């Protein structure tokens, strides 16, 4: 069975849920839980059964997490 093609190395502005998982090291369940709580970038519904994320929004979310960690370290 062929492996699914990752979109991470392309410059496409949209990434799949699986690519978002790979970028963040989070599971699909964790991302969906964060999305439901409004704590992860919203997905785009690109067809009836397919969603995608805006790559720059996911990357900005990751950077915000890194910055928050740095701020906490400075306060400690």
In angstroms, the CA 13 to CA 20 distance is: 12
pLDDT in tens, 36-72: 999 999 999 999 999 999 999 999 999 999 999 888 8
Q: Which domain holds residue 35?
A: 14-75
Could you report how far apart the first and last alpha carbons of the chain are, in Å?
Answer: 49
Per-residue model confidence (pLDDT) at position 2: 42
Residue 4 domain-assigned (yes or no): no
Per-residue model confidence (pLDDT) at position 11: 81
The number of folded domains in the chain is 1
Mean pLDDT over each residue of the chain, to the nearest integer: 90
Per-residue model confidence (pLDDT) at position 7: 67
Residue 2 domain-assigned (yes or no): no
Burial class (CB in 10 A: 0-12, 13-18, 19+), 45: exposed
Residue 3 domain-assigned (yes or no): no
Residue 7 domain-assigned (yes or no): no
In angstroms, the CA 52 to CA 69 distance is: 27
Q: How many CB atoms lie within 10 A of CB 3?
A: 5
Residue 47 domain-assigned (yes or no): yes
Residue 24 domain-assigned (yes or no): yes
Global pTM?
0.83
């Amino acid at each position: 069975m062929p492996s699914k093609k990752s979109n991470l190395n392309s410059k496409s502005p949209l990434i799949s849920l699986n690519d978002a998982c790979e970028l963040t090291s989070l599971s699909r369940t964790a991302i969906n839980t964060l999305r439901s709580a409004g704590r992860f970038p919203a997905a785009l519904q690109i067809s009836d059964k397919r969603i995608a994320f805006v790559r720059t929004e996911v990357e900005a979310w990751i950077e915000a997490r890194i910055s928050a960690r740095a701020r906490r370290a400075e306060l400690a």
